[in-house]
């Protein structure tokens, strides 16, 4: 079975309400014949509902960039999966490197969020990736295995089929550096091997694994040509509609 091809944009903490709405409308108007290819936009949470409305009747799905691992409660400033779902979002981004390394989220936090997202019918996009010092020490494989084991702990094979993995080497996010297609492919092969060991080869063969980290229109072709790269999670290059469309329509 052919794996899903997913092109996702993470807007991070950028845009105003009108900017967000305008960008979605421009994306809708500019999409070519993308066939079964999926497009996802991870909006800042205050604009998610507006993005859902602007993307209505189009191939674009909307997600939020973070959520808490409780349904509700006295957690000032947090967003629950119920709120994410209520805004019309399909996806939730979990474990992005900025959540891990700026806000101190752990592998356990990632796992708790993934489980609760699945419980509420959201599709988790789980981010993994190594720091520069970890790559230089030669511990990339160990880091990726730890993150995969942590994220998927206690998640059934049926639930795992709803999860999308995004490999984002931390040293390539927002730095202008990008892993070569060969480096990215090597880690994607490792991730697929780890998923096969945890579940089975059939689940590994069908699970979408995206690459993220300074993806731009001028490097998408080489990355997407790799056998185990099923799409991309784009940061800065997704903020401007024409730039993101150049990537989506590769």
CATH code at 73? Answer: 3.20.20.70
SS3 state at 61: strand
pLDDT band at 145 (very low <50, low <70, confident <90, very high): very high
Q: How far apart are CA 244 and CA 30, in angstroms?
A: 10
Give mean pLDDT, residues 186-207: 98
Does some domain include residue 215?
Answer: yes
| 7, containing H or E segment | strand 6-10
- If you average pLDDT over every residue of the chain, what do you get? 96
Give mean pLDDT, residues 176-181: 83
Active site residue 240: no
pLDDT of residue 174: 74
**Number of domains present in the structure of the chain:** 1
Q: Which residue has the higher pLDDT, 59 or 176?
A: 59
Catalytic residue among 38, 168, 185, 188: 168
Of 22-26, 179-183, 191-195, least confident by mean pLDDT is 179-183
pLDDT of residue 241: 98
Give mean pLDDT, residues 57-86: 98
Sign of CA dihedral 48, 53, 55, 58: positive
Does some domain include residue 11?
Answer: yes
Catalytic residue among 38, 96, 98, 185: 96
pLDDT band at 159 (very low <50, low <70, confident <90, very high): very high
Sign of CA dihedral 195, 5, 219, 41: negative
Residue 157 domain boundaries: 6-248
The yes-or-no verdict on residue 32 having pLDDT over 90 is no
Does some domain include residue 75?
Answer: yes
pLDDT of residue 50: 97
pLDDT band at 177 (very low <50, low <70, confident <90, very high): confident
pLDDT band at 225 (very low <50, low <70, confident <90, very high): very high
Does some domain include residue 184?
Answer: yes
Active site residue 96: yes
pTM of the full predicted structure?
0.96
Q: What is the pLDDT of residues 108-128, one digit of tens each?
A: 999 999 999 999 999 999 999
Does some domain include residue 1?
Answer: no
């Amino acid at each position: 079975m052919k794996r899903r091809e997913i092109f996702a944009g993470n807007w991070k903490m950028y845009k105003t309400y009108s900017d967000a709405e305008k960008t979605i409308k421009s994306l809708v108007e500019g999409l070519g014949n993308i066939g079964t290819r999926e497009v996802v936009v991870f909006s800042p949470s205050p604009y998610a509902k507006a993005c859902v409305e602007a993307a209505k009747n189009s191939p674009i799905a909307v997600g939020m960039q973070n959520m808490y691992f409780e349904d509700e409660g006295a957690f000032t400033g947090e967003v629950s999966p119920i709120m994410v779902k209520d805004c019309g979002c399909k996806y939730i981004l979990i474990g992005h490197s900025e959540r891990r390394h700026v806000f101190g989220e752990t592998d356990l936090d990632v796992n708790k969020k993934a489980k609760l997202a699945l419980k509420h019918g959201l599709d988790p996009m789980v981010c993994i990736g190594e720091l520069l010092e970890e790559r230089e020490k030669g511990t990339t494989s160990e880091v990726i295995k730890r993150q995969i084991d942590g994220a998927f702990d206690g998640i059934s094979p049926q639930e795992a089929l709803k999860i999308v993995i995004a490999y984002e080497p931390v040293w390539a996010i927002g730095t202008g550096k990008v892993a070569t297609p060969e480096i990215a492919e090597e880690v994607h092969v490792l991730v697929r091997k780890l998923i096969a060991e945890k579940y089975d080869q059939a689940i590994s063969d069908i699970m979408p694994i995206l690459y993220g980290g300074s993806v731009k229109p001028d490097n998408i072709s080489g990355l997407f040509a790799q056998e185990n790269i099923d799409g991309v999670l784009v940061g800065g290059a997704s903020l401007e509609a024409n730039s993101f469309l150049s990537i989506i329509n590769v």
